[in-house]
Structure 1
Amino acid sequence: MTLAAQQAFEQAVLQEKAGDMDKALAYYLKAQELAPQDTEIAYRAASALLQAGYLDEAQSQLRRIVFAVPEHVKARASLGNCQLLLGDLATARQNFTEVLEQVPDNRNALFGLASILLKEDDPEAAAAPAQRLAEMLPNSPAVLTLLARTLEGTGQQTAAIAALQRALKLDASHLDALLNLADLLLLRKRFDEVIDLAIRANAHSPSDPQALELLSDALSGKGALADAHEAANEALKLKPKSASALLRLSVLSRKLGAHGAAMDYALKAHDADVKATGPLNALGAALAALKYSVQARTVLTGLSTGKPLDPPTRAFVESLIKDLEAKETHSQNLENPTDDADQEISDMAAKLAPELEEEEAAVPENSEGKPTPSDPVRKEPSRQRVASSDDDPLPNVLGLRRQDRS
């Protein structure tokens, strides 16, 4: 290593310790240019590229290091992390496995492997590396959050909640812990706690729609439908083509009496994910609420048989939406929630069930004879709405509009 390369490398290390990764990266790259054969400089430069989000460049450099020095465990673990972030799970898993064969307690590899197994919906397999990592790093919020996800996946919700609460004691603004804990508490209908966690998560990461979606669901659970609608609409702005966000708005709009908006959102959700069953169910409920039982029956029949929305029904719905737009906007009738359509659509489904079974027996699964893919939209757990009393005013969350409760 030349003197100039050594000086650039030392400056890079100093800047990295000071937390200025942009300057550190610049010095690392300068040092690498002056000493292209130095493996340590190349590895530190690749790590800086990875931290700065230059994933393709980092992957290319790490591959060169691993090819030249196969036993470079740190470089292989970092390469696995890079591939995990790029979505190449199979290759990342292979690299993490090879690292753990050489160094069973490598933290990066343990964390990466557990993360991949969770992504592959195998929490049982993820539990072992996550537990080992938690033993090594008991005070790491990221590790405790990872452990909580494996506990939740193996049916240990209470232990998962405890792990997440501990993570937040260590770091009150840890985003993943906030979101995961809010999601678990939502299933237990602890709506006030979910609202608090969602607001904290949104303050920490305003561009993440998940916090607003959780806030919307919690407000809906408390009976604050107008505010739930407003939070859901803010979430949609962050992810305009999200089928689940559109579906949430459709359901809330119908309950608030804005049936035109409910159908409009349902159609958009259907277009965003034509294989999802939720949008058609929401559309059928909106039609039933408007007493268009024939059209609701058609939609429900198509839903049960796996058929897409037929053109005549779609044309009818689009025309109906235009007619209703002259009478209502998405913000009108928000103080008159209606749930009648839920019972009506359920009754209709019950009446249709016998004949639908006959139709399904006569209809092939699809043109290729394969089962219809499952609904990729995240299923919302069944939740009862808990109305708040007049003596229990709701907080003005995220500047949401307050409704007259008198």
Structure 2
Amino acid sequence: MTAAARKAFDDAVALEQSGNLDKALVSYLKAQELAPQDTEIAYRTASALLQAGYLEEAQSQLRRIVFAEPEHLNARGSLGSCQLLQGDLENAQQNFRDVLDQAPDNRNALFGLATVLLKEGRAAEAERLARSLVELLPETPAVLALFAETQGKTDQVPASIAAYRKALKIDPEHTPALIGLSEILLLRKRYDEVIELAVRASQLSKTDAYPLSLLSDALSGKGALEDAREASEAALQLDPQSFLATMQLSILSRKLGDPVSALRYALAAHDKDTSAAEPFNALGSVLASLKYATEARKVLTGQTSQKELEPAVRQLIESLIAEERDRELVPERSKVHTKFENESVDTCLDAAQHQSETSTVLLSNEPLRPDVEDKPNVLGLNRQDRS
């Protein structure tokens, strides 16, 4: 490593340690340009790219390091983390296992492999890894939240709640723990606690729709349907592709006596995930309530066979939605028409007022005459008609 490369590298490390990741990344890239064969610089640069969210660039660099130095366990573990973030669970799992074969206590690989196993529905296997990790890092919120998730998914609910609470005691703003505890308390119908936790999570993650959906479920459980709908609408606004928020709005609309909106949201949810059963259930229930029994049966049959909606049924649903939209537009048009009429009346009244005032001025310049009759009501409008 040349002196210039060493200086750029040291500057990058100092910037990263001070929390200035963007400037650190610039310095790392500069150091790498000055010393392209230096593995340490390449690895720290790849790690900075990974932290900054440049997943493709980080993966490319980490692959080169692992290819050149297969025993570089930190690079292999980071490559697994990068693949996990990209949804490549198979390769991520393989890299984590390769690391653990040589270093069974590698924390990054333990955490990564446990996360992969949870995503694959293998909670019992994940629980063993998470327990080992807790022994290594007993006061780390992320580790405690991971362990809590494995406990919740292996029916160890009290242990799960305790681990989440411990994580939040250490870091009250640890969002995964807030969300995880909300989920498990929601299953226990502890709605007030869920509301408080979901609000905190939403305030900390303002671009994440999921805490708002949790809030909606808790409010709905308490019977506050209008507030629940407002929370789901806010979630859908944050994430227009949210299947969960769309389904929540369908269910809430039906409960609030708005079957056509329930159809509209259920149809939108079906279009987002044609294999999901929930939209079929919602559409079938609403159609049955609207006395379309035959179509409701067809929808439920489609659910069992996981097929698309029959064209005739879809056409019916879309026509019901369109008819409701047209009915909603009629009052709006009426309002516009009334507003136009009122504005016309006001214009006429203003003209009448102006004409009356002009006449008064003209008359005041004439000699007084006895028995002057009252002036007529101009344009036949009464003054009290003004609005």
Same fold, judged at TM 0.5 (above): yes
Task: Report the counterpart of residue 272 of structure 2 in structure 1.
Answer: 272
Task: Report the counterpart of residue 68 of structure 2 in structure 1.
Answer: 68
Output the CA distance in 2 between the equivalents of 1:93 and 1:112. 8
Task: Report the counterpart of residue 26 of structure 1 in structure 2.
Answer: 26
Give 1:291 deviation, angstroms: 3.1
Report the number of matched residues.
329
8 Å Cα contact 1:46/1:58 also seen in 2: yes
Give 1:295 deviation, angstroms: 3.0
Task: Report the counterpart of residue 313 of structure 2 in structure 1.
Answer: 313
Whichever of the two has the greater Rg, that structure is: 2
Q: Deviations over 1:242-274 (max 9, x none)?
A: 333222111100110111111111111122222
Output the CA distance in 1 between the equivalents of 2:68 and 2:212. 47
CA 1:6–1:255: 2 relative to 1, 3 Å: same
The higher relative CO (CA closer than 8 Å, separation ≥ 6) is in 1
Give 1:315 deviation, angstroms: 1.6
Output the CA distance in 2 between the equivalents of 1:304 and 1:9. 60
Output the CA distance in 1 between the equivalents of 2:160 and 2:328. 45
Output the CA distance in 2 between the equivalents of 1:65 and 1:95. 13
Q: Which moved more, 1:119-128 or 1:217-226?
A: 119-128
Amino acid at match of 1:235: A
Amino acid at match of 2:108: N
Task: Report the counterpart of residue 223 of structure 1 in structure 2.
Answer: 223
Output the CA distance in 2 between the equivalents of 1:327 and 1:40. 68
CA 1:28–1:285: 2 relative to 1, 3 Å: same
8 Å Cα contact 2:84/2:112 also seen in 1: yes
Q: Deviations over 1:213-254 (max 9, x none)?
A: 000000000000011011111111122233332221111001
Give 1:71 deviation, angstroms: 1.5
Output the CA distance in 2 between the equivalents of 1:22 and 1:243. 34
User: Which of the pair is proportionally richer in helix?
Assistant: 2
Output the CA distance in 1 between the equivalents of 2:304 and 2:68. 57
Amino acid at match of 1:128: R
Task: Report the counterpart of residue 115 of structure 1 in structure 2.
Answer: 115
Percent of paired sites with the same residue: 60
Give 1:156 deviation, angstroms: 0.6
Output the CA distance in 1 between the equivalents of 2:148 and 2:187. 15
Output the CA distance in 2 between the equivalents of 1:153 and 1:184. 10
In structure 1, list runs of 5 or more residues that go unmatched: 330-406
Provide the aligned C-alpha RMSD in A. 1.5
Output the CA distance in 2 between the equivalents of 1:70 and 1:302. 51
List 4+ stretches of structure 1 deviating above 6 A.
none
Give 1:319 deviation, angstroms: 1.6
Three-state SS of the structure 1 residue aligned to 2:155 is coil
Output the CA distance in 2 between the equivalents of 1:236 and 1:169. 31
CA 1:85–1:305: 2 relative to 1, 3 Å: closer
In structure 2, list runs of 5 or more residues that go unmatched: 330-387
TM-score, normalised to structure 2, is 0.82
Amino acid at match of 1:169: K
Task: Report the counterpart of residue 157 of structure 1 in structure 2.
Answer: 157
8 Å Cα contact 1:287/1:293 also seen in 2: yes
Output the CA distance in 2 between the equivalents of 1:160 and 1:278. 28
Q: Deviations over 1:162-196 (max 9, x none)?
A: 10011011111111111110000000000000000
Three-state SS of the structure 2 residue aligned to 1:241 is coil
Amino acid at match of 1:72: H
8 Å Cα contact 2:77/2:109 also seen in 1: yes
8 Å Cα contact 1:258/1:328 also seen in 2: no
